[in-house]
Chains A and B, each alone.
Chain A
Amino acid sequence: MNPAGLLIMIVSLSSVLLLSGYCFYKVLRLPPQGPDKP
């Protein structure tokens, strides 16, 4: 594996992990939502 490949792999994996982590953090912090009222 060459340095450019390693760099792209690390950047790609960390971007996806950071985005997923941020989204889940935000989702879990949201207050629970009751059913729609009639």
Chain B
Amino acid sequence: MTKEKNAPREQWGSRIGVILAVAGSAVGLGNFLRFPGQAAQNGGGAFMIPYFVSLLILGIPMCWSEWAMGRYGGARGFNSAPGIFGVIWKNPLAKYVGSIAVIIPLIIYMYYVVIEAWCLGYAYNYLTGDLMLGSDSAAYGAFFGRFVGIAGNGFLYADGQGQVIWFIALVFLLNFALIYRGVSKGIETLCKYAMPLMALFALCVLVRVLTLGTPDPAHPDQSVLGGLGFMWNPDFAKLADPKTWLAASGQIFFTLSVGFGIILNYASYVKRKEDIALSALTASSMNEFFEVCLGGLITLPAAFIFLGIAAGTMGTFALGFNALPNVFALMPGGRFFGFVWFFMLFLAAITSSVSMLQPVIAFLEEGFDLARKTSTTLLGLLTALGCGFVIYFSKGLVALDTFDFWVGTTLIFVLGMLQVSIYGWVFGVERGEKELHQGAQIRVPRFIQFILKYISPVYLLVIFVSFCYSNVPGYVAAIRQDPVALSSVAVILAILALFFFLTFLAGKRWTASGRLDPRKLDQEPMTQAEVSP
């Protein structure tokens, strides 16, 4: 039940391992499906200007701040965000701010694992040939609707309808088997194989897309160059529209997985003398490689070549699960490339989903001294309940969408703002800079600390207010009108209450054992013996 006394602290096995794990957590469906759509709808090539500006003044600095706070907490014996914030901010509220960084990945996991199973299920259906439905685009919408149970609540539990449930069960077990093996043997090993494989699969599809030529002579404009132009031709007038800047900042914020609580947790397992400044930059640049170089060249150009300009107006799911299967059906060798593409998306998803479990496992283990078996079992039961809720209420994907809006978007903004403010104003930029440069071979420019203290919090606040202004009224109305949306919000609130209570209990244990003693924490990092409970 409880952890072995003096068990060694978990650490990453290698430098490249932690970089691949953080990049694996960041690279997900958004890199291949959300980014191209955002770019096409916000000025094409012109979108890249606010995109790179946001990367430099928001994304990379925030990554550095999370890595610094994470390792600082890890060196003082804490791997979970409630403990890390308790170390950084000697205020009773700190632990509860930290618990948001446990709740976010937990709830996101409950629906993300379902989307992950869709990807695996689509890859399987390419192998069997069931997704080669010809040129009728409506057939792909119908397949998707049937596959995810969009027609009605409980549809997937009906006899003979729930093929996807088997994939969800398989993916669910796979995630927990990996997390049970631990940070180095589970997550790191997965990412060491999955990341190169993902790059290889994506390059394979990229070569196919770039050699398509002009498949339909009746539409000479729908060619490879036309597709690339559709994605990259700039509309500079869009730069005058604040929405373009907000979309670019939002994309950077979500693509780098800042504000999820995952980097904070992963960085806490990094060794004291490791170069976190370079590791953070490498992981971010790898994420950008997948997003800009692969996502930017594959998804929309391929969809445009076969479907024309309609491809640019689609949402993430419509583009990924309706348009692209249609594209693969029309493409020479489409069955093979469809399998490769969806299996690649599955790998992108599993390296992210497994990272969502680790912050919760870390909290249960260090908050209650639970053994890995017990913490994994408890988390498995809790996530199975949440996941079952999302699967059951599949009509119109309302439950999934509600979880994604209130937790996967809104709460992430809130945590992002709190984290960067705590870094700049509580942890302190001087301490942050010192931590960042501990063992570093590269120097982080001083103005980054100024940005983190003054610019990033304000910038995030502006994005958040604008985001709330455009989206919150619609979702509040949905809660009033749709009982499923209301129930989903009730589930979120119940999980919040549960974890605030658990954080209260864990905090009492830490205080009683002296682990949060300010005199101890102000000293240099704890030794192995002190860290072990």
Contacts and interface: CB of A to CB of B under 8 A. Distances in A.
Interface of A: 1-2, 4-6, 8-9, 12-13, 15-17, 19-20, 23-24, 26-28, 30, 32-38
23 contacts: A1-B225, A1-B226, A4-B45, A5-B44, A5-B232, A5-B234, A8-B48, A8-B234, A9-B45, A12-B45, A13-B296, A20-B286, A20-B289, A23-B278, A23-B282, A23-B285, A26-B282, A30-B15, A33-B274, A36-B9, A36-B272, A36-B528, A38-B528
A19 B281 CA distance: 9
Nearest to B48: A12
Contact of B293 (A4, A17, A27): A17
Contacts of A12: 45, 48, 52, 292, 296
A8 B232 contact: yes
A33 B226 CA distance: 49
B292 to A, nearest CB: 5
A5 B48 contact: no
Interface string B427-467: 00000000000010110000000000000000000000000
Contacts, number: 95
A26 B162 CA distance: 49
Contacts of A35: 11, 271
Nearest to A34: B271
Contact of B228 (A1, A15, A19, A24): A1
Interface SS of B by simple majority: helix
A27 B281 CA distance: 10
B44 A16 contact: no
B45 A20 contact: no
A27 B228 contact: no
Contacts of B46: 8
B529 A30 contact: no
Contacts of B273: 33, 36
B278 A30 contact: yes
Contacts of A27: 15-16, 19, 275, 278-279, 282
B527 interface: yes
Contacts of A37: 528
Contacts of B274: 33
Given A1-B232, A23-B281, A28-B16, 4 more contacts: A5-B228, A13-B297, A20-B286, A24-B282
B388 interface: no
